[in-house]
Amino acid sequence: MSIPTEQATEQAVDLTAGPMRSIDDPLAGRPPIRLVGGPPPGAATLTARGACAWFGDHLVLENVDLHMPANQVTALIGPSGCGKSTFLRLLNRMHELVPGAQLAGEVLLDGQDIYRAGIRAQEVRLRIGMVFQKPNPFPAMSIRDNVLAGLKLARIRCSNKQELVEQALLRAGLWREVRDRLGDAGGALSGGQQQRLCIARALAVQPNVLLMDEPCSALDPTSTRRIEDTIAELRQHITVVIVTHNMQQAQRASDHCAFFLATENQPGQVVEHDTTETIFSDPADERTLAYVEGRFG
Amino acid sequence: MVAPVRLPPRRADVAAASATSASTAVPRPRRRPSEFEGIDYATMAGCAVSALALSWVVFTRLTEGVGWFGFVLVVYLCFLALYGLVSADRLGRLLAVDRLATVAITSGAVLLAAPLVWLVGYVVLKGLPSLSTDFFREDQGGITPSMPADAGGGSHAIVGSLQQVALSLSLSLPLALATAVFLNETRSRLRRPVRIFVDAMSGLPSIVAGLFIFAVLILPYAEDSDVFGNNGLMASLALGMIMVPTITRTVEVVLRLVPDGLREASLALGASRARTVWSVVLPTARSGITTAVVLGIARAVGETAPLLFTSVGASLFNSNPFNGPQESLPLFVFRNIRNTPLPTQIDRGFTGALVLMLIVLTLFAITRMVGGERKGGRRR
């Protein structure tokens, strides 16, 4: 796959999104940034078809079909060990980095399989960014260099790095706290700030999709709230898939929900997926109802 | 290595803290539990004097006495016992045990540090009188063993040592880094045999390294080319054989400490594996790699045995490591102190040893400055 090197100007301001909190775009009126060698502009849809995952001979995820529409937030919920994180890592080819990991099925990014022959995993990961459970800023780099790390690592060129740093940090809701100390080490920030720095780092390469693996599990309520605001704002520009254990968070932050469940010694499967409203008010499966009401898991 | 999260103390916090303490009207007595105070030191001094007096009475008045070592040992044990009893009486059993353990551990540390201080002090005392700036300017041309120790100098040995260490480091560091990266960052099946091989090499007697270079390179090729003769380059190769396993093992351990989360973060940003190693893993391990280099230098700079067959040693200045025998400081020390019973020669050797120690110290300082931890890319 060749990545078009056009301007990322028309960053889809396509507000087909659902009835969530209206968040002011902090970047309103800002000049667009031109990246050379980066992903094509706009959000992308992700579709998993018959996705399965193994660790060694152990099948952990079986036959998942899930559509994650563009410019929407899809939440993956379910008890621990049901394969949510594994599924998320299938979506940007991080699963195959685990020794002994195998997979089946396909994942379509805007209709094209990311696992087809002749496509490099690096290009997939460039278009589908990821934020991890534990904040992992690069300790040897300053805040500024952390934000720009993706450009350096993937050899993307940018004419206006200063503006890019500012926009990425603005979008991640961190700019005001760090604008006077961009040269400080990224590791010197608090946990919540580090996680937002990681979000800024993932956004700086202007991906089409952002995957978040329990991004708030190690954070306090204030930081969590800020990250949820960030997610709400992000969905104007890109597609977001988020794994969360927090029911309220799924309810607040997502448009669609998929409920994963693994019964004893069975691989994880999607029990039900629908709009967030339906999942939380009128789910089709009684196990979903039991889970979202907190009766198990 | 991951830099521990260090929050610099903020001015505001400090100011706030001092403001609160200033506003406290009543001065309160402060204490730190289990800290030694004036009275503790007084108690210790008293116990020491009592122990000394008791032992003196027992060993000189009442019995025939023991040697000085036995006397010191008995004084020390008496002191511990007395101090324990007094502390138990004053502070209770729990704190007494704490004090006693502190004293025992501290005296153990002093005991361990003593030989080191003695060693360094002895070399300084023996070497310093004959050390002058001439030592850095002149070589041993025309110097006979009976001439005074400050005649001539060791410039030829200093130049040789520095050149050989620099050469061997520039040969072995890239190799060692590549090996460590291979061992830690790839999933090759050959990792196990390579690791065993590196382990085995780190146990290699250094004279075998010298012998190997001599037998494999110098003996067959010396007649054809000066580069394969007895010279500094051959010494550097032998030293490199000793440095590679040391640096490899240290770097490998350090790379293992780099959290996997950082590698994943880098790969998830679209970086290749090679790029991840180069731009994320190695910079994160920077200070650890510096330590590895320091250990490698320390290992090589003091080696004498591998040089005996390779650079051989010389008494004249030779700044070309690719042609002709070259002196280095360990060889300088070795030949001066071994060859004669003349005190002038021996003093000359000690001067060389002192300079060698100074050079090692300087090299460590330079390495730390070059490779030391930089906080978050202040380079720009």
Lowest mean pLDDT among A47-56, A248-257, B139-148: B139-148
Taking the C-alpha atoms of residue B66 and residue B10, their distance in angstroms, rounded to an integer, is: 61
Confidence of residue B206 (pLDDT cuts 50, 70, 90): very high
Query: Which of B3, B265, B374 is opposite residue A132, by nearest beta carbon?
Result: B265
CA distance A169 to chain B (A): 17
- The residue of chain B with its CA nearest to that of A183 is B378
Model ipTM value? 0.85
pLDDT at A14: 39
For residue A16, pLDDT beyond 80:
no
Q: How far, in Å, CA of A142 to CA of B378, rounded?
A: 7
Orientation angle between helical segments B206-213 and B232-256, nearest 10 degrees: 130
**What would the pLDDT profile of B343-363 be if each residue is shown by its tens digit?**
888 888 999 999 999 999 999
Q: DSSP code of A157?
A: E
**CATH number for the domain running over A45-292:** 3.40.50.300
In 3D, which of A196, A183, A174 has the Cα closest to residue A145? Answer: A183
Type of residue found at A75: A
pLDDT band at B134 (very low <50, low <70, confident <90, very high): confident
- Give the side-chain half-sphere CA count within 13 A for B254: 25
* pLDDT greater than 50 at residue B13: no
* Minimum distance, in Å, between the CA of residue B178 and any CA atom of chain A: 20
Chain B nearest-CA distance from A285, in A, is 35
Residue numbers in B near A145 (CB within 8 A) = 376-377
Higher per-residue confidence, B276 vs A186: B276
User: Taking Cα atoms as reference points, which of B179, B185, B184 lies closest to residue B198?
Assistant: B179
HSE, side-chain direction, 13 A CA sphere, residue A69: 15
A154 touches chain B (CB under 8 A): yes
Query: Is residue B172 scored above 90 in pLDDT?
Result: yes
pLDDT at A27 over 80: no
| pLDDT tens figures, A55-69 | 999 999 999 999 999
Report, as an integer, the average pLDDT of A259-273. Answer: 90
> Which A positions 33-92 lie with beta carbon below 8 A of chain B?
92
Angle, vertex CA A122, rays to CA A96 and CA A84, nearest 5? 40
**Buried b / exposed e across B68-92, counting CB within 10 Å, b at 16+?**
eeebeebbbebbbebbbebbbeebe
CA dist B211 and B115 (Å) reads 33
Asked whether A44 and A127 are in contact (CB, 8 A), the reply is yes
Question: Which one of A99, A140, A154 has the shortest CB-CB distance to B269?
Answer: A154
The residue type found at A70 is A
CB contact under 8 A, A136 and B264: yes
pLDDT at A37 > cutoff 90: no
Name the residue of chain A whose CA is nearest to B260's CA.
A136
Mark yes or no for CB contact A185/B266 under 8 Å: no
> What integer pLDDT is reported at residue B276 of this predicted model?
94
pLDDT at B198 over 90: yes
- pLDDT averaged over every residue in chain A: 86
Alpha helices in chain B (DSSP H): 11-23, 38-56, 68-91, 93-127, 134-137, 155-185, 191-202, 206-213, 219-221, 232-256, 260-268, 273-276, 282-284, 286-301, 329-339, 343-371
Spell out which residues of chain B touch residue A197, defining contact as CB-CB under 8 Å: none
Strands ordered across the beta sheet of A128-131: A128-131, A209-213, A239-243, A73-77, A256-261, A269-275
Per DSSP (E only), the strands in chain A are 35-36, 46-55, 58-68, 73-77, 101-109, 112-113, 128-131, 157-158, 209-213, 239-243, 256-261, 269-275
Residue B201 dihedral angles phi and psi, to the nearest 5°: -70, -30
Integer Cα distance of A48 and A66 in angstroms: 5
Contacts of B261 in chain A (CB under 8 A): 132, 134, 136
Nearest to B376 among A123, A134, A184 (CB): A184
CB contact under 8 Å between A94 and B6, yes or no, is no
Residue A265 has pLDDT above 70, yes or no: yes
pLDDT for position A30: 75
- In angstroms, the separation between the Cα of residue A93 and the nearest Cα of chain B is 9
Q: Which residues of A touch B259 (CB under 8 A)?
A: 136
Task: Write the residue in A149, A188, A205 that is nearest to B5 by C-beta.
Answer: A188
Average pLDDT score over residue span A183-199: 90
Phi then psi dihedrals of residue A98, to 5 deg? -75, 130
pLDDT at B307 over 70: yes
Q: Could you give the CA distance from residue A177 to residue A179 in angstroms, rounded to a whole number?
A: 6
Nearest to A12 by CA among A71, A73, A74: A71
Contact B261 A130 (CB under 8 A): no
Contact A125 B268 (CB under 8 A): yes
- Among A141-155, A219-233, B54-68, B328-342, name the most confident range: A141-155
Q: Residue B350 and residue B335: Cα distance in Å, rounded?
A: 11
Distance to chain A for B270, nearest Cα, Å:
4
> Which of B8, B187, B283 has its CB closest to that of A140?
B283
Please report which confidence band the pLDDT of residue B313 belongs to, taking 50, 70 and 90 as the band edges: confident
* CB nearest A140 (choices: B187, B268, B286): B286
Residues of B in contact with A3 (CB under 8 A): none
**In the prediction, which pLDDT does B69 show?**
86
Distance CA(A155)–CA(A123), nearest Å, equals 11
CB contact under 8 A, B3 and A139: yes
B271·A134 Cβ contact <8 A: no
* Chain A hits for B283, Cβ within 8 Å: 138, 140-141
The number of CA neighbours under 13 Å toward the Cβ of A1 is 24
Q: What's the mean pLDDT in A245-256? A: 91
pLDDT, mean of residues A112-130: 92
Q: pLDDT by residue (tens digit) across B245-285?
A: 999 999 999 999 999 999 999 999 999 999 999 999 999 99
CA distances from A266 to A58, B99, B191 (A): 10, 59, 36
Task: For residue A167, give how far its alpha carbon lies from the nearest alpha carbon of chain B (Å).
Answer: 18
Which residues from B are below 8 Å from A140, CB to CB?
3, 280, 283-284, 286, 374, 376-377
Residue of A nearest to B275 (CA): A153
**Tally of CB atoms within 10 A around B201:** 16
pLDDT over 90 for what percent of chain B?
53
- What is the chain A residue with the closest CA to B379? A183
Is any Cβ of chain B less than 8 angstroms from the Cβ of A180? no
Mean pLDDT across A121-140: 93
Please enumerate residues of B whose Cβ is less than 8 A from a Cβ of A. Answer: 2-8, 187, 259, 261-262, 264-272, 275-276, 279-280, 283-284, 286, 374-378, 380
Query: What are residue A272's phi and psi, to 5 degrees?
Result: -160, 140
Structural domains present in chain B: 37-127 (no CATH), 155-371 (1.10.3720.10)
The reported pTM is 0.80
Residues of B in contact with A154 (CB under 8 A): 269-271
Mutation pick from A98, A130, A134, A138 vs chain B, by most beta carbons of B within 10 Å, is A138
Looking at the complex, report in whole angstroms how far the Cα of residue A211 sits from the nearest Cα belonging to chain B. 10
Residues whose CB falls within 8 Å of the CB of residue B303, separated by 6 or more in sequence, listed in order: B206, B239, B242, B330
Residue to mutate among A88, A109, A136, A147, with most B CBs inside 10 A, is A136
More confident residue, B34 or A55: A55
Tell me if B261 and A132 make a contact (CB, 8 A cut-off): yes
B167 has a pLDDT exceeding 70: yes
Mean pLDDT value across chain B: 86
Mean pLDDT, range A12-33, rounded to an integer: 56
Q: What is the pLDDT of residue B373?
A: 59
**Cβ separation of B269 and A145 shorter than 8 Å?**
no
A185–B376: do the CB atoms touch at under 8 Å? yes
Kindly determine whether residue A141 and residue B2, on different chains, have CB atoms separated by under 8 Å.
Answer: no
| Tokens encoding A22 | 């209206």
